[in-house]
Amino acid sequence: MPTQDEVIAKHLQDALAKGELQTAAGFGKPMHEDKGWEATPDALRMPFKILKRAGFVPAEVEIFRQRAELNAKLAADLSEAKLSQAERDALMRELSSLEQSISLRLEAMRTRG
């Protein structure tokens, strides 16, 4: 009995031989690498990918996006010094809160899984 990988490989060979794969978007080109892929924990990559393709954004992904935005604002301020100390402190508190939320969510996922 063939393994699942062997069955998939056979289907791909058949589709290639029939010319079906050539019509697929991106055929013969390197795969586009998502910027957040390396930063996403291994155990969450596939579930997040499935949800992304379905058009659903998990709360964790939204929190990661918010964290990236705050980090970018703080980095920009380091070079331009446009924010007051009070504004900078508020961003740091918000970033700290997001980091804590991320840690708690990831820990909860680890203990469930």
What average pLDDT does this structure show over 78-91?
A: 83
- CA torsion sign, 20 to 26 to 30 to 31? negative
CB 66 within 8 A of CB 98: yes
Distance CA 81, CA 95 (A): 18
Instruction: Compute the mean pLDDT over every residue in the chain, rounded to the nearest whole number.
Output: 84
Decide which of 26 and 50 is more confident.
Answer: 50
Which tokens go with 42?
């291994």
pTM: 0.50
CB 67 within 8 A of CB 99: yes
User: Which residue is listed with tokens 């969450």?
Assistant: 44
